[in-house]
């Protein structure tokens, strides 16, 4: 687990166990994440919400396995940036990092907007910007105090989310079998022959996959993890499978409850099904749970993850050196943390009211980064080191590559245009950095 073998100095505090990473990953993905985007997935998949989440989980399984392979080879901060950098080439690594930044930098903003949208019907007199700024301030303080403090906060938040989810599942099943919605659990949320259309469902998957983004964030904490080189990989896969099952369970119940309902707003679709299941109090409970889980818990770990990406890229002189500064007492990349807070405020206010478009834009960055991750596995293990493990180092990455590639292909055209525009900005920045500022990074790729 030593970072010195890769030419770095151990600056961050190693304090996280496998259990801490599992909790971190589950908090990042948010066990109740479908509460906030259920309406958009339900509308896009023509009611087959559980199917969209199942496909998303399968796609992310192969990606999790690639994360496991690369985190074992390169146990350093940086996630996809570090893996593509060392698994393929430093230039490819820069663009992998640039693409994943589109996910990590914008996802906190998306979380704040979802939280503000959830609270708007309850407290209509409070402007959205007040919630956004308030959530950002709280999360920034917690993250600045250190990774151990963040880990402790995560444990309590996760327990609360699981309790809320259990309440909805129990009351939702009781309501179904009492005659509400479909009247019982059906197969329609998983497969409805009358409405099934693969491109349509895959378009919904491009939104549903947002809920799975987070297991990959575990790899950004490699330099703050205790244990062997498999710790990050085990946590990534474990968190993904646990949360994936919870996603499918809750959306299956919600989709059957929603049969026959007409939603006034896709933003509040899940809360309306909760109202059908348990009444106004359950609706209020799910709204507040979504707001606090996305606005505090999820955004908290998202901010921690993106600050580590910025730290890793700045340490390699791919971004301004200032972003690599570590607080002498708390051992956190405090400058990067504060920069993320400023960006979150700006982008949160700019994209307020555009949850669906922002979610697709976030997903574009993440999924493009995942494509390069799969290529990194094949190049590093199969081509460079002649691995004989065809299943883990060739077949799994290829399957993951093609599934994610198809999801990207079926994405909304506007999201692809915006995503490619971000990539174009990265190309310009890279050319200026490389040929005008004369910055480069030389790595010992034999390690």
What are 236-248's pLDDT values in tens digits? Answer: 999 999 999 999 9
Query: Which one, of 155, 276, 335, lies nearest residue 324 by Cα?
Result: 335
Name the packing angle between helices 299-315 and 80-87 (round to 10°): 30
Q: How far apart are CA 377 and CA 61, in angstroms?
A: 15
Which residue is it, tokens 């998983």?
190
The dihedrals phi and psi of 442, each to the nearest 5 degrees, come to -110, 120
Q: Which two tokens stand for residue 214?
A: 């987070």
Q: Which two tokens stand for residue 190?
A: 């998983």
What residues have CB less than 8 Å from 128, skipping those under 6 apart? 113, 116, 117, 120, 352, 353
DSSP 8-state secondary structure symbol assigned to residue 389: -
What are 288-339's pLDDT values in tens digits? Answer: 888 877 777 777 777 777 787 788 888 888 888 888 888 888 777 888 888 8
| CB-CB contact of 29 with 214 (8 Å) | yes
Q: How far apart are CA 223 and CA 331, in angstroms?
A: 11
Q: Coil, strand, or helix at residue 89?
A: coil
Torsion of CA 93, 99, 101, 106, to 10 degrees: -170
The C-alpha R_g of the chain, in whole angstroms, comes to: 21
The total number of residues written for the chain in this structure: 447
Residue 284: CB atoms within 10 A of its CB come to: 15
Element of type H or E holding 334: helix 334-350
What residues have CB less than 8 Å from 142, skipping those under 6 apart? 149, 150, 153, 300
Q: How far apart are CA 97 and CA 109, in angstroms?
A: 19
**What does each of the 447 residues of the chain score in pLDDT, given as a tens digit?**
566 676 667 767 777 888 888 888 888 788 988 988 899 899 888 889 999 999 989 888 999 999 999 988 888 877 788 889 889 998 898 898 888 878 777 877 777 787 777 777 778 888 888 888 888 888 778 777 766 666 677 778 888 889 999 999 999 999 999 999 989 999 999 998 888 888 778 878 877 887 887 787 788 778 778 877 788 889 999 999 999 999 999 999 999 999 888 888 887 899 999 999 999 999 999 988 888 777 777 777 777 777 877 888 888 888 888 888 888 887 778 888 888 888 888 877 777 767 666 777 777 888 898 999 999 999 999 999 999 999 999 999 999 999 888 888 877 788 788 888 889 998 998 888 888 877 665 554 444
Give the pLDDT score at 217.
76
Q: Which two tokens stand for residue 251?
A: 């959306």
Give the pLDDT score at 4.
65
Residue 136: CB atoms within 10 A of its CB come to: 23
Which domains, ranges and CATH numbers included, belong to the chain?
Answer: 12-436 (1.20.1740.10)
The whole-model pTM stands at: 0.79
**Exposure on the CB side of residue 70, measured as CA atoms within 13 A:** 35
Q: How far apart are CA 341 and CA 179, in angstroms?
A: 47
Q: Coil, strand, or helix at residue 122?
A: coil
Give the pLDDT score at 444.
47
| CB-CB contact of 29 with 245 (8 Å) | no
DSSP 8-state secondary structure symbol assigned to residue 162: H
Q: How far apart are CA 97 and CA 84, in angstroms?
A: 8
Is the four-CA dihedral 126, 129, 132, 133 of positive or negative sign? negative
Give the pLDDT score at 312.
80
């Amino acid at each position: 687990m030593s970072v010195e073998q890769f030419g770095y100095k151990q600056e961050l505090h190693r304090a996280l166990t496998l259990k801490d990473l599992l909790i971190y990953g589950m908090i990042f993905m948010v066990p109740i994440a479908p509460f906030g985007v259920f309406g958009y997935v339900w509308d896009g998949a023509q009611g087959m919400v559980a199917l969209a989440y199942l496909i998303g989980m399968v796609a992310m399984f192969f990606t999790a396995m690639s994360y496991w392979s690369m985190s074992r080879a390169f146990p350093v901060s940086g996630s996809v940036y570090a893996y593509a950098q060392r698994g393929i080439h430093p230039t490819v690594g820069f663009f992998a990092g640039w693409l994943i930044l589109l996910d990590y930098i914008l996802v906190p903003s998306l979380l704040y907007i979802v939280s503000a949208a959830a609270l708007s019907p309850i407290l209509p007199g409070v402007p959205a910007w007040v919630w956004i700024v308030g959530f950002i301030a709280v999360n920034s303080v917690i993250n600045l105090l250190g990774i151990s403090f963040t880990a402790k906060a995560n444990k309590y938040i996760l327990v609360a989310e699981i309790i809320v989810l259990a309440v909805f599942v129990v009351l939702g099943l009781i309501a179904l079998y009492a005659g509400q919605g479909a009247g019982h659990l059906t197969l329609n949320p998983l497969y409805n022959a009358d409405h099934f259309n693969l491109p349509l469902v895959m378009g919904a998957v491009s939104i549903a996959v947002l809920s799975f983004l987070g297991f990959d964030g575990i790899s950004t904490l490699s330099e703050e993890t205790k244990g062997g080189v498999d710790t990050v990989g085990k946590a990534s896969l474990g968190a993904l499978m646990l949360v994936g099952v919870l996603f499918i369970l809750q959306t299956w119940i919600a989709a059957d409850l929603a049969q026959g309902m007409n939603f006034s707003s896709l933003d509040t679709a899940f809360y309306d099904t909760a109202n059908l299941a348990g009444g106004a109090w359950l609706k209020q409970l799910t709204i507040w749970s979504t707001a606090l889980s996305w606005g505090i818990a999820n955004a908290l770990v998202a901010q921690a993850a993106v600050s580590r990406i910025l730290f890793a890229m700045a340490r390699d002189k791919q971004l301004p050196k200032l972003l690599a500064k570590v607080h002498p007492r708390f051992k956190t990349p405090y400058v990067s943390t504060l920069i993320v807070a400023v960006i979150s405020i700006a982008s949160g206010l700019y994209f307020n009211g555009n949850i669906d478009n922002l979610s697709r834009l976030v997903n574009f960055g993440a999924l493009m980064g995942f494509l390069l991750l799969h290529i990194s596995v094949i190049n590093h293990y199969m081509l460079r080191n002649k691995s004989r493990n065809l299943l883990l180092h060739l077949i799994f990455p290829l399957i993951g590559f093609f599934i994610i590639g198809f999801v990207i292909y079926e994405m909304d055209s506007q999201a692809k245009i915006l995503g490619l525009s971000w990539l174009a900005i990265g190309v310009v920045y890279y050319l200026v950095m490389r040929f005008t500022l004369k910055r480069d990074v030389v790595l010992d790729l034999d390690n």
